[in-house]
Amino acid sequence: MELPSLAFAVWMFISFYGPLYGYPNGKVREVCESMMPHHGSSPRSSPEHIITVNRTEFKPGDKIEVNLSGPDFEGFFIQARNAEKWDSPAVGSFVLADQKISQLLTCGHTKNSAVSHTSKAKKKFVKVYWIAPGDAPKHVQFLATVVKKYRTFWVKIPSAIVSQPNAPSPTTPFHKTSEPVSTSHPISYLTKPFNASGCGNTKFCVRNPSSCDPESASCFFLSFQKEKTSVLIEMSGPSEGYLAFAFSHDQWMGDDDAYLCVNEDHHVSISTAYLKERSPPVLDSETALEDVSWRLADGVLQCSFRRDIHLAARKGRFNLDASYYIFLADGEASEGGLIHKHHRQPLITSGTYTITGLPQDIGGSRSPQLIKAHGALMFVAWVTTVSIGVIVARFFKPVWSHSYLFGKEMWFQVHRMLMLTTVMLTSISFVLPFIYRGGWSKQAGFHPYLGCTVMALTIFQPLMAGFRPAPHAPRRQLFNWFHWSTGTTARILAVVTVFLGMDLPALDLPDPWDTYTMFGFVAWHVGIDVLLEIHSYCLIRKVEVIEDDRIQILQSLTSAEAEASHHFGHLFKQIVLTIYVCGNIVFLIVFLVAIDQI
Distance between CA 26 and CA 19 in Å, rounded? 14
3-state helix/strand/coil string of 529-563: HHHHHHHHHHHHHCCCCCHHHHHHHHCCHHHHHHH
pLDDT-derived band at 303, boundaries 50, 70, 90: very high
pLDDT-derived band at 313, boundaries 50, 70, 90: low
Is the predicted pLDDT of residue 401 greater than 80, yes or no?
A: no
DSSP state of 53: E
β strands within 171-316, DSSP E: 187-189, 204-208, 220-227, 230-237, 242-248, 256-264, 267-275, 282-283, 289-297, 300-308
* 146 vs 26 pLDDT, higher one: 146
Mean pLDDT over the full length of the chain? 84
Determine if the pTM surpasses 0.75: no
- Dmax over CA atoms of the chain, in Å, equals 123
* 386 vs 398 pLDDT, higher one: 386
Distance between CA 65 and CA 58 in Å, rounded? 11
Distance between CA 162 and CA 160 in Å, rounded? 6
* 553 vs 247 pLDDT, higher one: 247
Distance between CA 214 and CA 362 in Å, rounded? 14
CATH number of 29-163: 2.60.40.4060
pLDDT-derived band at 66, boundaries 50, 70, 90: very high
Annotate 370-410 with DSSP letters as a single string.
HHHHHHHHHHIIIIIIHHHHHHHHHH-TTTTTT-EETTEEH
442-472 residue pLDDT tens:
878 899 999 999 999 999 999 998 888 888 8
* Closest among 236, 246, 227 to 317, alpha carbons compared: 246
Is the predicted pLDDT of residue 163 greater than 70, yes or no?
A: yes
pLDDT at 550: 47
Helix/strand/coil percent split, the chain, to 5: 30, 25, 40
pLDDT-derived band at 276, boundaries 50, 70, 90: confident
* 33 vs 178 pLDDT, higher one: 33
Residues 145/155, Cβ–Cβ less than 8 Å: yes
317-352 residue pLDDT tens:
899 999 999 999 988 877 666 777 777 788 999 899
pLDDT at 337: 63
Distance between CA 189 and CA 294 in Å, rounded? 5
State the amino acid at position 509 in one-letter form: L
Is the predicted pLDDT of residue 559 greater than 70, yes or no?
A: no
Range(s) of the chain covered by CATH 2.60.40.4060:
29-163
Is the predicted pLDDT of residue 30 greater than 90, yes or no?
A: no
Residues 13/444, Cβ–Cβ less than 8 Å: yes
CATH number of 187-362: 2.60.40.1210
* Closest among 248, 252, 232, 255 to 315, alpha carbons compared: 255
Which SS3 state, helix, strand or coil, does residue 477 take?
Answer: helix
The top-level CATH class assigned to 369-596 is mainly alpha
pLDDT at 8: 34
Distance between CA 176 and CA 78 in Å, rounded? 16
575-598 residue pLDDT tens:
999 999 999 999 999 999 999 887
Residues 418/393, Cβ–Cβ less than 8 Å: no
Residues 79/59, Cβ–Cβ less than 8 Å: no
pLDDT-derived band at 25, boundaries 50, 70, 90: low
Provide, rounded to the nearest whole percent, the portion of the chain with pLDDT above 70.
84
Is the predicted pLDDT of residue 366 greater than 90, yes or no?
A: no
Range(s) of the chain covered by CATH 1.20.120:
369-596
Is the predicted pLDDT of residue 191 greater than 50, yes or no?
A: yes
Cα distances from 106 to residues 36, 81, 144, 156, in angstroms, run: 16, 14, 16, 18
Distance between CA 214 and CA 227 in Å, rounded? 22
pLDDT-derived band at 397, boundaries 50, 70, 90: confident
Is the predicted pLDDT of residue 109 greater than 90, yes or no?
A: no
Distance between CA 426 and CA 321 in Å, rounded? 43
